[in-house]
Amino acid sequence: MKRSVIFLLAALLAASLVVPAMAEEPVTLRFWTDPRFRNIAGMEDKTSLPGEWEMIQAQEFMKLYPHVTIEVEVIPFEDLTVRVPAAIAAGGAPDILKDYLGRTAQYWHEGVLEPLEDLIPQDELADYLPSLVEMYTLDGHLHALPSYSWVGHLVANKAIWDEKGLGHLLPTIDNPSWTVEEFEAAIEAVKEDSLWPFGLFVPPDGQADYRYLAFFWVFGAKLYEGGDYSRVDLNSPEGVEALTWLKSLNDRELIQPGATTMTSAQLDTMLWRGEIAMMGNTAALWSGYTNALRDGKVTREIDLVPVPYPTVPGVSAGLAVGPTGFAIFKQEDPNKLKWAVEFIRFLNQPEYQQIYAQNASQFPVRLSAGNPHEGKPHFEMIQKMLELYGAEDLGVTSTYYNQVRTLLSTEIQAVLINQKTPEQALADFEREANRILSR
C-alpha cells in the first residue's frame, strides 16, 4: 500500500513537471539587433564583441522559458538600411528588430509591423516617459517599444580654450546658455592654421540631420510646423538667416573643409587630433573617446564638455532626441506574437534599461530605471539643457523622412559649395519636399 502511494505521488509529481512544459508549444524567434553594446561593466570578458550581450540576454530569457528559442543576429549599422528592407521584401523579415525610430517608423508606414498598444500592460506602459510613448505612437498605434534615447547637443574640447586661458568663453552648468555672438566669439578665439574651431557634418544621405537642423532651430526656423508632416516649413526668413549664417561660418573657415562628404568617423578623428574644437554630437562621444584612447587615436589633451546650441533673442530652440526601440514584424501565429512581446518586455526591464544607458551613454525611457547617470557632470549638464530647452521635432516619424532629409542635406551642400544661394536652396527644397509629401 505504502509503495503504491509513493509510486502514485511520484507519478503525479512527474506529471506536474511535464504537463505544463508540454502545454507550451515550442517557439523560435529571430531577433535582429544593431551592434550598440559591448564591454558591459562587470562582464567585459564575455561581451567584448557586439551582439554578445544580446546573446546573454536571450539565454537568460530562454532559461526562464525553455520552450522559446531566440536566434540573435547582429546587423552592422551600415547594413541595417539594406538588409532589413531586403529581408522584408523577400519575405524573410526577423520577428523582432531593435533599431532607430527613423527606420522603425518607415516600416510601420509600410504596414509590416504589429501594433503593440494592446499587447503591453497599461500599468507597464505608464512607466515609460510619456513623450517617448507619444513619439512611438503613429496613426494611433504604438508601432514599437522605445528602449533608450540619445540627446543631440554641442560638445567642446574645453582643453583647447583652457590652453589659451579662454575657458570662460564656454557656457557652464550654472549658466547653460549663450548667444550666437558669444558662440562666434568663442570659436573665432581658438582658430588657428590647422585648427578649424567647428566641425560640421552634412552628408549627402542626410544622416546626422540633428547636427545641422539644430542651427535652423537656433534662428527659430522649423522643418515642420506643429507636427504637420504634410508640408515643410523651413523656407522662411528665419531659415534663410540660419543657412546664411552657417555659410558665413564655412566661408570664414571656422568650419573644417570637406563638410559635405566627410564622415562622422573622420570628424571624430579630427577632434582626437585637436584639429577641431567643437561639434554637434551626443553623449555617445564620451564612449567614443574611451575607445579612441584605448586605440591610441588621441594625440592631444581632450576635455570634453557638453555645450548648448546658441540662442537668438526671442527664440526658444530645443534639442534633438533620437530613440531606439523594439519593433515586432507582422505575425501569423498568435503564440509567436505573444512570446515576441514577452521577450521585448524582458529586454526593456528597468535593470537592463540602466545597463543600456550606462554602456552606450544613452538615456533610459522608463521612469523606474531612475537616473543611471547621477553624479556624471556631463550628463547632468545634458539633462539640465533638456529640461531648460525641451525637445525639437526632427520629423523622424514622417512617412517620407529619409527622402526629405536627403533632399535637405543636398540643398545645404549646394549652399556650402557655392552652387546656390540660401534663398534658392531653401526654395528648391520646399518645392521638391512638398511634391514628395503630397504623394
Partner 1 sequence: MPLIRSIVKGRWGYFFIGPAYVLFTIFTIYPLFEGIRLSFYDAGLKMRTWVGFENYARLLTDSAFRRAFLNTLHFVVIIVPVILVLSLLFAVLIFGLNYVLQSIFRAAFYLPSVASGVVLVAVWLWIYNPTYGLLNYLTGLVGLPRIAWLGDARWALPALSVVVISWALGRPIILFIAGLNGISREVYEAAMIDGASSWQQFIRITLPLLTPTTVFVLVTQTIGVFQTFVVVQLLTRGGPAYATQTIVYSIYVTAFQFLQFGYAAAMGGVLLVVSGSIALFQLRLMRADIEY
Among 94, 152, 203, 422, binds partner 1 (CB under 8 A): 203
Q: Given the complex with partner 1, which of 147 and 410 has the nearer CB atom?
A: 410
Cell 503564440, residue? Answer: 335
Q: What is the DSSP string of 49-97?
A: STTHHHHHHHHHHHHH-TTEEEEEEE--HHHHHHHHHHHHHTT---SEE
Give the footprint of partner 1 on residues 205-224 (CB under 8 A): 205
Pairing of strands 137-138, 141-142: antiparallel
Q: At what angle do helices 264-272 and 284-294 cross, to 10 degrees?
A: 60
3-state secondary structure of 126: coil
- Of the candidate residues 76, 130, 237, 258, the single one contacting partner 1 (CB under 8 A): 258
**Least CB distance to partner 1 at residue 289 (A):** 19
Which candidate, 304, 266, 257, 274, places its Cα nearest to that of 190? 274
- Of 68-76, 110-118, 311-319, 359-367: span binding partner 1 (CB under 8 A): 110-118
Q: Is there binding between residue 256 and partner 1 (CB under 8 A)?
A: yes
Q: Using CB under 8 A, which residues numbered 264 to 293 contact partner 1?
A: 266, 270, 273, 275
* Three-state secondary structure call for residue 201: coil
Q: Which is closer to partner 1, CB of 157 or CB of 413?
A: 413
What is the C-alpha to C-alpha distance for residues 20 and 333, in angstroms, rounded to an integer?
A: 20
> What is the C-alpha separation between 123 and 109, in angstroms, rounded?
27
Closest CA to 164 of 143, 136, 190, 127: 190
Span of 58-66, 196-204, 232-240, 362-370 interacting with partner 1 by CB under 8 A? 196-204
| 155 Cβ neighbours under 8 A, 6+ residues apart | 278, 279, 280, 281, 285, 304, 305, 306, 307
Rule CB under 8 A: say whether 115 interacts with partner 1: no
CB of 295 to partner 1, least distance (A): 15
In the list 25, 110, 118, 192, the residue contacting partner 1 (rule: CB under 8 A) is 110
Considering the complex, state which of residue 29 and residue 262 has its C-beta at the smaller distance from partner 1. Answer: 262
Q: Which stretch, 250-258, 316-324, 362-370, 371-379, contacts partner 1 (CB under 8 A)?
A: 250-258
Question: C-alpha grid cell for residue 322?
Answer: 533620437
User: Rule CB under 8 A: is residue 82 a binding residue for partner 1?
Assistant: yes
E-strand ranges in 103-250 read 137-138, 141-142, 145-151, 153-157, 196-199
Pull the grid cell for residue 195: 585648427
Binding positions for partner 1, 391-420, rule CB under 8 A: 400, 402-403, 406, 410-411, 413-414, 416-417, 419
Total chain residues near partner 1 (CB under 8 A): 39
Binding site for partner 1 (CB under 8 A): 81-82, 85-86, 88-89, 106-107, 110-112, 194, 196, 203-205, 256-263, 266, 270, 273, 275, 400, 402-403, 406, 410-411, 413-414, 416-417, 419
